[in-house]
C-alpha cells in the first residue's frame, strides 16, 4: 500500500478504472475535493503526507459553468473539476479548474522578500523523560544557529529514580545521561544564559511546540534554584517563533498531521539523515536543526508572516494560539492561552512513574 494510505473500509468503485473494490481490498486516499476516494492497489498513486492525493481523477466534476482559477478561461459545466480554495481565500470555498490546469498540492513558492526569516536565527529543543509538565526531567538540550556553531548539553538528572517513557524517541537513556552528562544545575544555567542572550537582542528564538519546551525549561530551572529564563531578559520570554503556530495559521485548511516530521515533509525540509547516531527525528539536535530550517522556509513561503518584526511576530502568535485554543474549546478560554509561549502555571512536581500518570 503506497505511502501513508489506508485500506478502504467499505465496498466502492475504483476512481481510475471504475471497477468494484471489495471492502479492505483497496487503497483509500483523501482528495483535494474534500472526500475519500478508493483505488485498486495497482491503480493507486503514491500517497502525499497525511494520506492525501492530488490525482485529477479523484476530483469532483463541476456541476455549473465557471472560470478556471489558474488560467481565467471559461469552464463549461461538467468539463472541469472542483478544488478547495488556497489558504486565505475562505475556508471551505470551492474553485473551478480545467483538468489540465489543476495544481498539485504543494506549499506556496518561496519568495525573495526580506524579513526575520533571512536574519540570524537560533533554534532550541530538548530531550525529556516524558511529556508531563513539572514532573518529567530534561536529559538533553540542543541549540542550532544560522550564523555559527551549535551547542549540545547531555544533562545528568541526578540520583533520583527516574525513567524514560517508552513513547519518547530521542534514544537517550537515564544511565547514559548520568554517566556522561553535565550536572543539571550547571547545564541548565549555561543553556538559559545562551537563550537569554538571543532573546535580549530581540532576535526570534525558534522553538517547535514552544509551550511544552519552554515551560519544561522554566520548571527545571526552578527545580534547581536557578533564575528563570523570563527573569534573565528585559522583556521576558520574547520574541519566540514557533513554526507549528505559524504553519497552522498560514495554512489552516491543509489536511494531514502537524507533527514536526509531517510538516518538514510537506515543506521539503530535511529532517534527519541518519549519518550520525543523533541525526534522527526525536533527538533534540536533529529536531532543532529541522525547526530552524522550517522557520526560515515558512517565513519565505508566506510574506505576511516573514515581513513581521520580531516583537510583532511574537504578539501575532500569541493571538493565533489563543484563537486556536478558543476554537478547540468551543469559544472558551483555558489555561496557558494568555501566557503563550508558556503554559501556566510553571510548577515543580515530584516524580511519578509513567504508568502512574
- pLDDT string in tens for the chain (357-residue length): 444 578 888 899 998 888 899 999 999 988 876 678 899 998 888 887 667 787 877 788 888 999 987 788 899 999 988 876 654 444 446 788 888 877 667 788 899 999 999 999 999 999 999 999 999 999 999 999 998 899 999 999 999 999 999 999 999 999 999 999 999 999 999 999 999 999 999 999 999 999 999 999 999 999 999 999 999 999 999 999 999 999 999 998 787 789 999 999 999 999 988 778 889 999 999 999 999 999 999 999 999 999 999 999 999 999 999 998 888 877 555 444 568 999 878 999 999 999 865
- Helices and strands (DSSP H and E) totals, the chain: 8, 16
Axis crossing angle, helix 243-250 with helix 260-267, rounded to the nearest 10: 60
14 CB-near residues (< 8 Å, 6+ apart): 20, 21, 26, 38, 39, 40, 43
- Distance CA(207)–CA(240), nearest Å, equals 7
Q: E strands within the chain? A: 6-7, 12-13, 20-21, 27-31, 36-39, 52-53, 66-67, 74-75, 80-84, 94-98, 122-128, 138-145, 151-156, 182-183, 205-206, 240-241
Are the C-beta atoms of residues 212 and 339 closer than 8 Å to each other?
no
Amino acid at each position: 500500500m503506497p505511502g501513508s494510505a489506508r485500506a478502504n473500509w467499505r465496498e466502492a468503485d475504483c476512481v481510475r478504472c471504475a471497477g468494484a473494490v471489495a471492502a479492505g481490498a483497496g487503497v483509500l486516499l483523501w482528495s483535494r475535493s474534500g472526500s475519500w476516494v478508493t483505488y485498486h492497489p495497482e491503480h493507486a498513486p503514491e500517497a502525499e503526507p497525511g494520506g492525501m492525493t492530488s490525482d485529477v481523477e479523484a476530483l469532483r466534476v463541476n456541476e455549473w459553468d465557471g472560470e478556471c482559477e489558474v488560467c481565467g478561461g471559461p469552464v463549461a459545466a461538467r468539463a472541469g473539476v472542483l478544488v478547495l480554495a488556497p489558504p486565505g481565500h475562505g475556508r471551505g470555498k470551492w474553485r473551478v479548474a480545467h483538468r489540465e490546469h489543476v495544481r498539485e498540492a504543494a506549499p506556496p513558492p518561496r519568495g525573495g522578500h526580506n524579513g526575520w526569516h533571512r536574519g540570524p536565527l537560533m533554534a532550541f529543543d530538548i530531550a525529556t523523560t516524558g511529556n508531563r509538565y513539572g514532573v518529567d526531567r530534561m536529559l538533553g538540550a540542543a541549540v542550532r544557529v544560522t550564523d555559527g556553531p551549535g551547542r549540545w548539553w547531555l544533562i545528568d538528572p541526578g540520583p533520583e529514580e527516574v525513567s524514560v517513557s517508552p513513547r519518547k524517541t530521542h534514544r537517550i537513556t537515564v544511565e547514559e545521561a548520568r554517566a556522561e552528562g553535565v550536572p543539571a544545575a550547571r547545564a541548565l544555567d549555561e543553556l538559559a544564559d545562551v537563550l537569554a542572550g538571543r532573546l535580549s537582542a530581540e532576535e526570534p528564538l525558534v522553538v517547535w511546540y514552544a509551550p511544552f519546551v519552554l515551560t519544561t525549561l522554566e520548571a527545571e530551572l526552578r527545580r534547581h534554584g536557578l533564575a528563570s529564563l523570563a527573569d534573565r531578559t528585559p522583556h521576558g520570554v520574547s520574541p519566540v517563533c514557533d513554526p507549528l503556530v505559524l504553519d497552522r495559521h498560514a495554512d489552516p485548511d491543509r489536511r494531514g498531521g502537524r507533527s514536526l516530521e509531517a510538516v518538514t515533509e510537506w515543506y521539503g525540509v530535511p529532517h534527519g539523515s541518519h549519518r550520525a547516531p543523533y541525526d534522527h527525528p526525536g533527538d533534540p539536535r536533529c529536531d532543532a536543526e529541522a525547526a530552524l530550517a522550517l522557520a526560515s522556509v515558512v517565513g519565505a513561503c508566506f510574506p505576511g508572516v516573514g515581513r513581521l518584526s520580531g516583537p510583532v511576530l511574537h504578539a501575532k502568535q500569541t493571538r493565533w494560539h489563543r484563537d486556536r485554543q478558543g476554537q478547540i474549546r468551543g469559544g472558551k478560554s483555558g489555561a496557558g492561552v494568555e501566557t503563550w509561549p508558556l503554559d501556566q502555571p510553571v510548577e515543580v512536581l515530584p516524580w511519578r512513574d509513567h504508568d502512574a500518570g
